[in-house]
Amino acid sequence: MSGFVSFVSSGPGDPELLTVKAVDRLQNAEVVLFDDLSSGPILEHAKPDADLIGVGKRAGRASPKQDHVSRVLVEHAQAGLRVVRLKSGDSGMFGRLEEEIVALQAAGISFEIIPGVTSASAAAATAGIPLTRRLTARRVQFITGADVTGDLPVDVNMAALADPMATTVVYMGKRTFAGLAARLIEHGLPGDTPAMLAEAVSTPAEKVQRFTIATLATHLETTTSTTPALIFYGPLAELDG
């Protein structure tokens, strides 16, 4: 008899940002497959006898391949266990959720998706800024700064990304933002467009810094850090937190 998989969104790192449903699923899971950014205090909600399996991926580090993660997920569910797949932020936001759903569907395994607080919302809250502004930022766009090779995607809509009336949030973009900034400026976005770098969102190591897109590009080219980060640019970054 097949088990059941709950894709649980752990939020950006602060365990107090977990939803009630997320805590319930963790407390009742027999197996928890967790990402690196979902470890630590969040795993304290799991049962003492739950099998905890780290399957996180981090840029520049040895990480499990996605097909391996999907296979382990299927195998535990096929054993009739209650499985939690714990993903950082919101599981549907750049979290490789689709590949794992496809694997479960192919194996005939039932699942549910429990949404959570994405790091963009948490970072904006920490900085004291809205993601939208009534007159100058009516649209919000979330993008990834890295394709499957880790490079800047080549098929992005630069006209949309260079829209001065949009709030843009870049996930996984520290390594590639200098190249993105150059392309944004080429497509008409002013180099002095406000930008913000939010690192280790909602953790004790959280750090928020303000730049322009030009100065942020320079900063990221001349510093080295493996801390997870988000990049914001557009009208919202003009506000002081």
Is 93 a catalytic site residue? no
Whole-number pLDDT of residue 150: 84
Whole-number pLDDT of residue 58: 57
Q: Which of 57, 147, 158, 207 is catalytic?
A: 57
Q: Confidence band (pLDDT; 50, 70, 90) for 241? A: very low
Q: Is 179 exposed, middle or buried (0-12, 13-18, 19+ CB in 10 A)?
A: middle
What torsion do the CA atoms of 67, 69, 73, 76 make, to the nearest 10 degrees? 110
Please compute the mean of the pLDDT values over residues 137-150 and round it to a whole number.
Answer: 90
Is 57 a catalytic site residue? yes
CA distances to 114, 133, 141 from 128, rounded to whole Å, are 26, 13, 19
| pLDDT tens-digit readout, 87-123 | 999 999 998 999 999 999 999 999 999 999 999 999 9
| pLDDT tens-digit readout, 37-73 | 888 899 999 999 999 999 976 555 556 788 999 999 9
Which domains are delineated in the chain?
4-114 (3.40.1010.10), 119-238 (3.30.950.10)
pTM of the entire predicted model? 0.90
Please compute the mean of the pLDDT values over residues 153-175 and round it to a whole number.
Answer: 94
Q: How many CB atoms lie within 10 A of CB 197?
A: 23
For residues 173 and 29, what is the distance between their CA atoms, to the nearest angstrom? 33
Is 35 a catalytic site residue? yes
| pLDDT tens-digit readout, 169-228 | 999 999 999 999 999 999 999 999 999 999 999 999 999 999 999 999 999 999 888 889
Nearest to 211 by CA among 228, 231, 229, 226: 231
Q: Which of 35, 87, 90, 196 is catalytic?
A: 35
Q: Which of 14, 93, 163, 172 is catalytic?
A: 172
